[in-house]
Chains A and B, each alone.
Chain A
Amino acid sequence: MKSLKLHLTVIAILSSLIVLQTGCGGDSKESNTSNDNQSMMNNNSGLTEWELESGFGPVKKKLNLGPIDPTMAAEGEKIFESKCATCHKLDERYTGPAQRNVLQRVTPEFFMNTVLNPDENLQKHPHSKEMLAQYMTKMTNQNVTIKDARALLEYFRVLDEELKNNTTTKK
């Protein structure tokens, strides 16, 4: 009876060590993977699937995007120039990452939530944390409205379309 108890204790200790070990392994594996969608999904930080895909912020359900609205996109381009271009260029690293392909890296919902609510995402979301570690400057809160963020999204949808078309033409 006594020896069984001892056995159980040993097993418990061992298994907790294994759990700890795998936890570490998981982390290191994750930091090895590049900052693509895969690393966002493959996470054990206790976030819900929605939070992982869409980040934290005022956008709380899947956006119903519809066809591209060119007027809104033009508005978005203006906002990008005044509020974002200080840190983001389209095709080169500046203070923050190049942005042309942003919608190939994150979902539209994540895009908007990050623009609208950078601080909370930087604290909670593994992808945002990873970007901070890479660029060393916190994404700034530029106090844009939801409407402005939506217009920005439209602008990047246009850029995204162009990217897709270019790759198909090349093929």
Chain B
Amino acid sequence: MNRRYIRALLIGISVVAAFVLMHYGCQESKNLSAGDEAEKVYVAPGDYDEFYMFTSGGFSGQIGVYGLPSGRLFRQIPVFSQDPEKAYGYSEESKPMLMTSYGFIPWDDAHHPELSQTDGVPDGRWIFINANNTPRVARVDLTTFTTAEIIEIPNSGGNHGSPFVTENNEYVVASTRFSLPIPNEDVPINSFKENFKGTLTFIKVAPDGKMSIAFQILVPGFDYDLAHAGKGPSHGWAFFTSYNTEQANTLLEVNASQNDKDFIAAVNWKKAEEYIAKGNFKKSSSTFYRNYVDEKKHMAFSEKNSEVKILSPDDCPGLIYYLPTPKSPHGVDVDPTGEYIAAGGKLAAVIPVHSFSKMIKAIENKDFETEVYGIPVLKYESVLAGEVENCGLGPLHTEFDGKGFAYTSAFISSEIVKWEIGTWKVVDRIPTYYSIGHLSIPGGDSKKPWGKYVVALNKITKDRYLPTGPELTQSAQLIDISGDKMKLLLDFPTIGEPHYAQSIPAEILMKNSKKIYPIEENEHPYGIKAEKDARVERNGNDVHVYMSTIRTHFAPDNIEGIKVGDNVYFHVTNLEQDWDIPHGFAVKGAQTSELLVLPGMTETIVWKPQQPGIYPFYCTDFCSALHQEMQGYLRVSPKNSNVEISYRIGN
């Protein structure tokens, strides 16, 4: 046997071996969870998850409530979109929640859930979320997991950069994505540079949660993208990213990507408060709504506002500075110490990290590069703490583990990159499937992160799940960050686009979760406190049915004397005082939705009978063994009939 033959044989074997290995590698990549991952995400039946995770529904306009580490879905909270399951936006009580200066709006695009904070740490009282399209911010009450308040943002053309809270919810901040003429008026679009402006909005949050627009700051006509408030030493400041400093109004993908650097706007809101106190503001007349729930009345009310205070940087020196930041920055994230401000430059090759203390020094030294529309631009080198190189393609958002590391999502290269604060070195990276947008560590944008997991929120899932036609689910991926190396544990689909999410230890929320609404405290004007008060009253063409529910009957359940052309108001009070016993109410031909009435609550739908006849109604939420018996009949007579109103239950 000659040497050449042996060599050929060896090469042959190694080629085959390489193929086998490669093939094996492929199999592995779709089946990573082969170790103890399953054990780490398994929450035994009846056991509780360690964290609540609140995901935005993106274009579903809702909030999803999931458990971590299991990824189980517990609830969908309707916020900006009607939800027929819960009668949200259909019941007379909830319709005012969706009122705006543009009228009743049944949908929006919800992006960033943000937990309220005390001393810079999520406190579990509320979660705020923004509506992008018709600019609004909502406050969701975490004792009931329902939307408690929605405030409209005037002078905004798309409320993307919100709602981010200051250390003690002094403010929720918001910035406009689209600049507009302010006040809005009919001008040629190509007069952009001349006529278009942006606004940064500071929403005051009262101790009881009530929101109001404290003031707005008029800023140059760029696109404002995201924000975060300072904390610790940087408390009193808020940071807003901007892009399109080119001020293009068409083909932005090219025209807004020209400049080497755009800006992070650093706003001194304590200074703003001083200027407001001094009266250094202009009043702008703008119509905007505030809608809120009165929990005792079980009803939402709309309040129309007409004026907002506007600060202009020209009149307020020291209010705002620009930090030059490479290439259309998206996320702006402040580390737990409050010293470092990381920016995700969508098109940048590095993650620039600014230093708050250097920024203050640069301001003191007037270390300015130039001025833009009267706003001083600080020198990049004077404010920079470091640049993270090799950070992946398309870095977007950064969260922190509280142990000295930061995690940045990279959209284009579909990965999470872990880097060390101070050395700015990348220490680990893990692929995501696919096209990660935001990422979320419990408390990861606060002073004290619970740095156990990071969740990747992915836009695209392609081949990850069973196909469901052209439209596929988005996904969340749970990654263990307790060790040096990140480890993918679980991959689960989400409802809507999980644009961003925030998580909080379950123990903080669980103890405050309400079980019922006490019936004694029900102040609904059409509510009843006992079955004996159930009745039907006619008032012209309006018929008010004061109805009660309990396992397992409606009172009354036989109603006569309703006529075609009537507006029948069903005010359904659930007299149950037991946890998890809602009753539903549906009547044939109703052009709204069902009602889902929680224990102790009163809810109303309006029904307009079109034809004489008999109409059944029934309970839609399975309530007891005799649920199917929970039903009744309505008799509808012709318009001119003289059948009197009568009602009964039992014999």
Bound: A62/B624 CA distance, A: 33
Contact (Cβ within 8 A) A140 B581: yes
Q: Does B555 contact A (CB under 8 A)?
A: yes
Q: Does A158 contact B (CB under 8 A)?
A: no
- Give residues of chain B (610-637) contacting chain A, Cβ–Cβ below 8 Å: 624-626
- Give residues of chain A (27-56) contacting chain B, Cβ–Cβ below 8 Å: none
Which residues on the B side are within 8 Å of A136 (C-beta)?
625-626
Which residues on the B side are within 8 Å of A144 (C-beta)?
577
Q: How far is the CB of A95 from chain B (nearest CB, A)?
A: 6
Chain A proximity mask over B570-591: 1 for CB below 8 Å, otherwise 0: 0000011111010000000000
- Give residues of chain A (121-149) contacting chain B, Cβ–Cβ below 8 Å: 136-138, 140-144
Chain B proximity mask over A134-168: 1 for CB below 8 Å, otherwise 0: 00111011111000000000000000000000000
Q: Does A60 contact B (CB under 8 A)?
A: no
Q: How many A-B residue pairs have CB under 8 A?
A: 54
Segment at the interface with B among A8-16, A18-26, A80-88, A100-108: A80-88
Most buried by A among B516, B529, B551: B551
Closest to B549 in A: A86
Bound: A94/B530 CA distance, A: 15
Closest to B518 in A: A143
Which residues on the A side are within 8 Å of B552 (C-beta)?
95, 137
Option from B532, B553, B578, B624 in Cβ contact (under 8 Å) with A143: B578
Contact (Cβ within 8 A) A143 B577: yes
Chain B proximity mask over A70-83: 1 for CB below 8 Å, otherwise 0: 00000000000111
Which residues on the B side are within 8 Å of A86 (C-beta)?
530-531, 548, 550, 555, 575
Closest to B548 in A: A86
Q: Does B650 contact A (CB under 8 A)?
A: yes
Closest to A144 in B: B577
Q: How far is the CB of B430 from chain A (nearest CB, A)?
A: 47
Bound: A136/B520 CA distance, A: 28
Bound: A82/B555 CA distance, A: 13
Option from B530, B555, B624 in Cβ contact (under 8 Å) with A138: B624
Q: Does B79 contact A (CB under 8 A)?
A: no
Which residues on the A side are within 8 Å of B650 (C-beta)?
94
CB-CB under 8 A for A142 and B530, given A95-B551, A137-B626: no
Q: Does B519 contact A (CB under 8 A)?
A: yes
- Give residues of chain B (512-540) contacting chain A, Cβ–Cβ below 8 Å: 516, 518-520, 529-532
Option from B520, B529, B548, B578 in Cβ contact (under 8 Å) with A141: B578
Contact (Cβ within 8 A) B578 A142: yes
Contact (Cβ within 8 A) B551 A142: no
Bound: A142/B574 CA distance, A: 11
Which residues on the A side are within 8 Å of B575 (C-beta)?
82-83, 86
Option from B531, B576, B626 in Cβ contact (under 8 Å) with A140: B576
Contact (Cβ within 8 A) A85 B531: yes
Chain B proximity mask over A85-98: 1 for CB below 8 Å, otherwise 0: 11100000011000
Contact (Cβ within 8 A) B624 A141: no
Which residues on the B side are within 8 Å of A94 (C-beta)?
650
Which residues on the A side are within 8 Å of B625 (C-beta)?
136-138
Bound: A142/B625 CA distance, A: 18
Chain A proximity mask over B492-517: 1 for CB below 8 Å, otherwise 0: 00000000000000000000000010
Closest to B624 in A: A137
Bound: A86/B575 CA distance, A: 8
Closest to B623 in A: A137
Bound: A86/B555 CA distance, A: 9
Bound: A157/B532 CA distance, A: 23
Q: How far is the CB of A146 from chain B (nearest CB, A)?
A: 15
Closest to B578 in A: A141
Option from B530, B551, B553 in Cβ contact (under 8 Å) with A85: B530
Q: How far is the CB of B448 from chain A (nearest CB, A)?
A: 36
Which residues on the A side are within 8 Å of B553 (C-beta)?
95
Bound: A86/B530 CA distance, A: 7
Which residues on the A side are within 8 Å of B551 (C-beta)?
87, 95, 137-138, 140
Contact (Cβ within 8 A) A83 B577: yes
Which residues on the A side are within 8 Å of B581 (C-beta)?
140
Option from A95, A137, A138, A141 in Cβ contact (under 8 Å) with B577: A141
Bound: A56/B625 CA distance, A: 24
Closest to B530 in A: A82
Which residues on the A side are within 8 Å of B516 (C-beta)?
143
Which residues on the A side are within 8 Å of B529 (C-beta)?
82
Q: How far is the CB of B222 from chain A (nearest CB, A)?
A: 55
Contact (Cβ within 8 A) B530 A140: no
- Give residues of chain B (535-573) contacting chain A, Cβ–Cβ below 8 Å: 548, 550-553, 555
The 10 closest A-B pairs by CB, nearest first: A143-B577, A86-B550, A82-B530, A141-B578, A86-B531, A142-B577, A136-B625, A81-B530, A140-B578, A82-B529
* A–B complex contacts, Cβ < 8 Å, 16 sampled: A81-B530, A82-B520, A83-B519, A83-B577, A85-B532, A86-B530, A86-B555, A87-B550, A94-B650, A95-B550, A137-B552, A137-B625, A140-B576, A141-B577, A141-B579, A142-B576
Given contacts A95-B550, A140-B577, A143-B578, 11 further A-B contacts (CB under 8 A): A82-B520, A83-B577, A86-B548, A87-B550, A95-B553, A137-B551, A140-B550, A140-B551, A141-B578, A142-B578, A144-B577
